[in-house]
Amino acid sequence: MPGLLRVPFHRDEMLTSYISRTACANGRPDLHAFCHDLGLDLSGIMRGVAASISKLEKTLGSDPGELADRALIKTDTRNIRLGDMMFAAGSITPTARKYCPACLEADRQDRSRLAGTRTYARLQWSLSCIDACERHDVRLVPVQADVDSDWAFERISDLSSHTVVGHASLSVTTEDTIPAKSDIANPLKATAFEHFVAMRLLGERTHGPLLDAMALPAAIEAAHLFGLAKTVGKVFDWQNADIATLKKAATEGFHILSEGELGVQEALAGLAKSYSGNGSSGRAIYGTLFEIIARRPKRYDPLSEIIKRLISSAANGPRRHDPRRSMVSLQEISEKVAMTPRSVGRYLIQHGHLTTLPHNVADLEVSHHVAMTAVKALKDVASPEDIREVLGCSTAELRSMARSGLLNAVIGPIPDDARSGADRYSLLEMRSLRKELIALAKSRKPCHASLRDASTSSGKAAGDILLLLKARHFSNVSFDRTKSVFDGLRFDPVA
């Protein structure tokens, strides 16, 4: 809009701060009135509505996106977007809640700036992980709405809060009311991590290939995670860690990540040292850190890619040296034998390797040795198709053979388990039984009854008939090779 006075938009300034100063520069310290006069939707601008910000850009003659990139937009209850960076809601506030008194003092002294618009709110003051000003090594002071209500800065920083926006009076008081630096400045050396965050907010990428490639919010989170893992250990509660621990962690983690892949590798190797062999997953080896990053791998790229690569070597490492130390989950076994984890569990119970089956059977782990035994046994079990092919019997006839002791169930029913599926038998055992039975057929004379007929007519179970057959109880045993064992095996059923 012609005639509108513009103030310079600082590279590290929040949008709310900028429009507040613009209003002051145009003699309208009441931001609400300023926007009203220009037909701007202040509430929409504060909430990050694209159309409202776009209109503001046009009105102020800014480049498209120039202001939108600096708006803190609450996208949903869990995320706040700043440009193309997505922050977790707890890590950033839509308004600055802290400030550096030395920065404000320096602003105040800058006579090159238009009076009344000299102080501005820095982006990093809205980040919860920043405690010190990287320029002045001064502790950031929390904004206390009541105590500091006359402060120009407080007015600027609080503009995006809905309650304040709703108020009619948003006038910015004179900057002379800001206390002098000497009164409040509290020395606190800014950490390397705090320098990193401030630089990145200015768009500078000079912290090594890994950190430079990561999105800033993810880099901040990853620094905390790596730092906690290093200082606390494999298991930690990120959300509930105290501030001093987090602060220390962020710096530790920053140093790890700034060393790139090598730093990550070393840090992970440190965690893997306490690896006890309980499971071969990244979670077992690296604990909470891995768990959090694996939940959203895309967010942490390329860090998650590096971790993924290192996992396979860590998981395979101990197994190669000592196969018996590593554990195998029922899920892994089930995939190897094309069977459900529950069936695998039933096998393990039956063979004394487990006592009960928990709800999450798939996650259950057994030793490498037990797993290998199970895989060998279960790979051999017969499917209903195998049964028909080998013996030509029904499932009921098979069970009858098992009851008679001719076959042993590899997976049988487990007591008190209503969900037990069909029993499974060893294919090898079934094949050798077939061979044994056929070997009994010495007669060429056509005989009367088949094995199945004999069972039906005598009312005896198929298994019991077979036992009698094996005990050479029948005469004239013959076998028709074109038929199955149950149909082709014939004999005189005279006892």
Residues at the contact surface with Zn ion, assessed by CB under 5 A: 100, 102-103, 133, 135-136
Contact (CB, 8 A) for 290 and 315: no
Q: At closest approach, how far in Å is the CB of 152 from Zn ion?
A: 16
CB of 120 to Zn ion, least distance (A): 12
Q: Least CB distance from residue 224 to Zn ion, whole Å?
A: 23
**Is the CB of 139 or the CB of 224 nearer to Zn ion?**
139
Give 492's strand partners: 475
CA distance linking residue 121 with residue 129, whole number of Å: 17
**What's the min distance (Å) between Cβ of 185 and Zn ion?**
9
Q: Give the closest residue to 5 by CA, choosing from 124, 116, 127.
A: 116
Q: At what angle do helices 330-337 and 341-350 cross, to 10 degrees?
A: 100
The residue among 102 and 357 lying less far from Zn ion, judged by its C-beta, is 102
CB of 183 vs Zn ion, minimal distance in Å: 15
Nearer to Zn ion, 121 or 165 (CB): 121
Tell me whether residue 133 or residue 339 sits nearer to Zn ion (CB atom). 133
DSSP label of 326: S
Please, which residue, 128 or 458, has the CB nearer to Zn ion? 128
For Zn ion, the closer of residues 100 and 165 by Cβ is 100
Nearest approach in angstroms of CB 105 to Zn ion is: 9
Is the torsion defined by CA of 232, 235, 238, 242 positive or negative? negative
> Using an 8 Å Cβ cutoff, are 177 and 110 in contact?
no
- Do the Cβ atoms of 98 and 141 come closer than 8 Å? yes
- CA 405 → CA 34, 240, 317, 400, 433, distances in Å? 94, 60, 44, 9, 12
The number of helices, as runs of H, and strands, as runs of E, in the chain is 25, 14
CB 80, min distance to Zn ion, A = 23
- Cβ neighbours of 145 (radius 10 Å): 13
Instruction: Measure the CA–CA gap between 353 and 371, rounded to whole angstroms.
Output: 10
C-alpha span between 150 and 25 (Å, rounded): 19
Q: Which is nearer to Zn ion, 135 or 319 (CB)?
A: 135
Of 136 and 424, which CB lies nearer to Zn ion in the complex structure?
136
Nearer to Zn ion, 133 or 382 (CB): 133
Give how far Cα 469 sits from Cα of 33, 79, 408, 476, 480, Å: 105, 76, 19, 11, 16
Distance in Å, CB of 102 to Zn ion, minimum: 4
Does an H or E element contain 163, and which? helix 162-166
Q: How far is the CB of 242 from Zn ion (least distance, A)?
A: 25
